[in-house]
Amino acid sequence: MATVPGVNPTLPASPARRLRIRWGEILRYVVLVALTILFLFPFYLIVRNALMTQPEITSFEWSWWPAMPQWSNLEVLFNDASAPMGSGLRNSAIIAIVNLVFQTLFASMAGYALARIPARGKTLVFFVILSTLMVPSAVTFVPSYVVVANLGLVNTIWGIVIPGLFSAFAVFLFRQFYLDFPVEIEEAGRLDGLGYFGIYGRLLLPNSMGILIALGVLSFINSWNAFLWPLVVGRSPSSWTVQVVLSTFLTAQTINLPMLFMGAAVGALPLVVIFLIMQRYIVEGVRLSGIKG
């Protein structure tokens, strides 16, 4: 490599340059710390208020932490018969897990069929599926409820689950993913005697773990946070989800702030744990890098 006469490339950087680099790193870390504090502040407020009494929360005097944390609020939350938090957590977990498994499975199968299986009219089917994304959910709310009611699934967990088992957005992402899948891998599978189901189950599905986990986590979060549909379909307390149980602490007559915040902390804990464990896979799925070498 050619060098400029009179300039030694091995010389260390000048003090001014080192100072600029140092200040750039300091500024970057300051911004990152500020954004971290801004992101974590709502979680701090939830935990703080969950360990306070009603007068402490509504007081005009600010305190960073309760003088005597009310750890008994957690016991009161689970012992409240009018707000069955235990069954709400169980119902939300069942609904979210079922949606996670079947929504991603059905979407991946549909995406593979639309991307790889030659069939007449599949382009029209794909555009029909995409068109459902432009229909507001409020338009399909009443027809969906009528269908669920005619099937006798009102007041059941399955009435809450079934309408969410298909996601047009997930089908779109899987179709785009499988369109970019190497054709050579499929051809090798056909040489080994595999059909469409064999190629899908043995080759494509194992190499789709990144996008499967990413969409699965998003499906879990959306199902866990759903409120309006579970509220309308699940009328009895035995079919209430976490979000519906939390709404019982906030009524037109009373607002039980300690139980509301304690319930919010308990309800958000599974989502935080799942995000911390699966964040690497979420990034991988967003980048659509599920192909293994």
pLDDT 10s per residue in the chain (293 long)? Answer: 455 454 455 545 566 566 566 777 788 888 888 998 898 888 888 889 888 888 888 888 888 888 888 888 888 888 888 888 888 999 999 999 999 999 999 999 998 889 888 888 888 988 998 888 888 888 888 888 999 999 888 888 888 898 888 888 889 888 888 888 888 877 787 887 778 888 888 888 888 887 888 888 888 888 998 888 898 888 888 889 999 988 888 876 778 888 888 988 998 888 888 888 877 776 666 555 443 43
pTM: 0.79
Superfamily of structural domain 80-286: MetI-like (1.10.3720.10)
To the nearest 10 degrees (0 to 180), the angle between helices 85-116 and 122-131 is 150
| Three-state DSSP class for residue 172 | helix
> What is the reported pLDDT for 90?
92
Q: How far is CA 70 from CA 56, 85, 119, 194, 209, in A?
A: 11, 18, 63, 62, 43
**∠ at Cα 130 (209, 148), nearest 5°?**
85
Q: Report which of 58, 110, 100, 53 is spatially closest to residue 219, judged by C-alpha positions.
A: 100
Kindly list the domain boundaries of the chain, sorted by start residue: 15-73, 80-286
Distance CA 208, CA 178 (A): 9
To the nearest 10 degrees (0 to 180), the angle between helices 257-286 and 15-50 is 140
Q: End-to-end CA distance of the chain, in Å?
A: 35
Helix, strand, coil proportions of the chain in percent (round to 5)? 70, 0, 25
> What is the reported pLDDT for 289?
43
Distance CA 213, CA 211 (A): 5
> What is the reported pLDDT for 7?
47
| Three-state DSSP class for residue 250 | strand
For residue 158, the surrounding DSSP H or E stretch is helix 157-161
